[in-house]
């Protein structure tokens, strides 16, 4: 692994599923790779579905702020907003001219989304923009969720096709899944935590709000009375303990739940200690960054300059290879 790239959706509504599933891994990658860890807030992707201009601006800012608050340090990594680096769209156009329509029409995400919205052509072609995002930096490592694997395959195909026709320019990137990328359950116990299901615990949500959700969250359905032994492995509160609590407390909960040594309310209160320990420092940092928005914007501008210096080199090679007049 020499250079990693990841696109960050512009949303400030980030929940603990995002935090434990992806963001912690970004912070780790940043420590390993420094400036070679490239994080791009993908606002051009966000406009492939109908959007409100002010909301988009706010969400792009929030995405930067929240990621910085959880520990992504813009001085250490490369962090910027996609639309500030026009080489992404320029390279996307070049790739589009080389990509058969059928390759895009068979993308599962396109097929799913096309059922829900009237189809804008950007929705069809955005996997090509995603390929350009990655290949503009010749990134070899792409941390992604399972839903993006097909797009990384397409990126590899685009790189292969281009190299075959015009000469070796692009490496074929690899999708990597963080070992500890967890499928965090939603607080309603109905499968994965997701914004669309409204079952999230937000990382910037007030601790009191989080407690009101956890207090009424379902536990092991077979544990009807305090005196019934429970099965922590059938309880989402125990899943949360594994994320937030230290190993000693997690082990205690596992044992005591199974022999009815603790009640569910106490168990949830124990969980809140870890929730507070994890989230309050993040929320404090977010509040501090919110007081100095210019510092966030300046960090993004610097990141865009750094990213652009890399992307420009790739574009020069690409333009030369396909025969554009200088
Ligand atoms: Fe779940 Fe804890 Fe109750 Fe066991 S004691 S069922 S782990 S909330």
**Gap between the Cα atoms of 19 and 66, Å rounded:** 10
Q: Tokens 């792409």: give the residue.
A: 142
Closest atom of ligand 1 relative to the 254 alpha carbon: 7
| Catalytic (active site) residue 192 | yes
Mean pLDDT calculated for residue range 295-324: 98
- Ligand 1: centre distance to CA 218 (Å): 9
Q: DSSP letter at 205?
A: S
Mean pLDDT calculated for residue range 240-264: 97
The predicted pLDDT at position 180 comes to 46
> Any bridge partners for residue 5, and if so which?
38
The predicted pLDDT at position 12 comes to 65
Q: Cβ atoms within 10 A of the Cβ of 24, count?
A: 18
Per residue in 157-207, pLDDT tens?
Answer: 999 999 999 999 999 999 987 654 567 899 999 888 988 889 999 999 999
> For atom 7 of ligand 1, which residue has the closest CA?
232
| Catalytic (active site) residue 197 | no
Closest atom of ligand 1 relative to the 241 alpha carbon: 7
Structural domains of the chain ordered from first start: 4-183+292-322 (3.40.50.620), 205-286 (1.10.240.10)
Task: Report which of 277, 230, 285, 237 is spatially closest to residue 258, judged by C-alpha positions.
Answer: 230
Record the tokens describing residue 263, joined without a space: 């009640």
Q: DSSP letter at 81?
A: E
| Catalytic (active site) residue 111 | no
**Gap between the Cα atoms of 94 and 128, Å rounded:** 10
- Spell out the alpha helix ranges (H) of 246-292: 247-258, 264-290
ipTM for the predicted complex comes to 0.99
The predicted pLDDT at position 117 comes to 67
Provide CB contacts within 8 A for 317, sequence distance 6+: 169
138 pLDDT higher than 70: yes
Tell me the whole-structure pTM to 2 decimals: 0.91
Order across the sheet with 37-41: list the strands: 78-81, 37-41, 4-8, 141-143, 174-176
């Amino acid at each position: 692994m020499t250079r990693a790239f990841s696109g960050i959706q512009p949303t400030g509504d980030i929940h603990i599923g995002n935090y434990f599933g992806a963001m912690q891994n970004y912070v780790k990658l940043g420590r390993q790779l420094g400036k070679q860890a490239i994080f791009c807030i993908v606002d051009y992707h966000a406009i492939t579905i109908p959007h409100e201009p002010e909301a988009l601006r706010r969400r792009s800012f929030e995405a930067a702020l929240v990621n910085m608050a959880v520990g992504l340090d813009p001085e250490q990594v490369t962090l910027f907003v996609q639309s500030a680096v026009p080489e992404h769209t320029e390279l996307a156009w070049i790739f589009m001219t080389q990509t058969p329509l059928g390759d895009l029409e068979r993308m599962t995400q396109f097929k799913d989304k096309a059922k829900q919205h009237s189809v804008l052509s950007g929705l069809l072609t955005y996997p090509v923009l995603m390929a350009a995002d990655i290949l503009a930096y010749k990134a070899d490592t792409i941390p992604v969720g399972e839903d993006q694997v097909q797009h990384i395959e397409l990126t590899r195909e685009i790189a292969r096709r281009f190299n075959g026709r015009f000469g070796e320019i692009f490496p074929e990137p690899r999708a990597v899944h963080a070992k500890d990328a967890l499928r965090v359950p939603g607080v309603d116990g109905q499968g994965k935590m997701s914004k669309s299901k409204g079952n999230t615990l937000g990382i910037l949500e007030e601790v009191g709000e989080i407690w009101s959700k956890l207090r009424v969250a379902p536990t092991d359905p077979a544990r009807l009375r305090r005196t019934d032994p429970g099965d922590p492995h059938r309880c989402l509160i125990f899943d949360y303990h594994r994320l937030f609590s230290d190993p000693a407390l997690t082990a205690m909960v596992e044992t005591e739940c199974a022999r009815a040594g603790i009640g569910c309310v106490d168990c949830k209160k124990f969980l809140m200690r870890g929730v507070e320990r994890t989230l309050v420092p993040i929320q404090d940092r977010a509040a501090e960054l919110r007081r100095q928005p210019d510092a966030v914007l300046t960090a993004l501008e610097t990141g865009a300059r750094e990213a652009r210096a890399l992307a420009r080199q790739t574009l020069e090679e690409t333009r030369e290879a396909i025969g554009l007049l200088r």
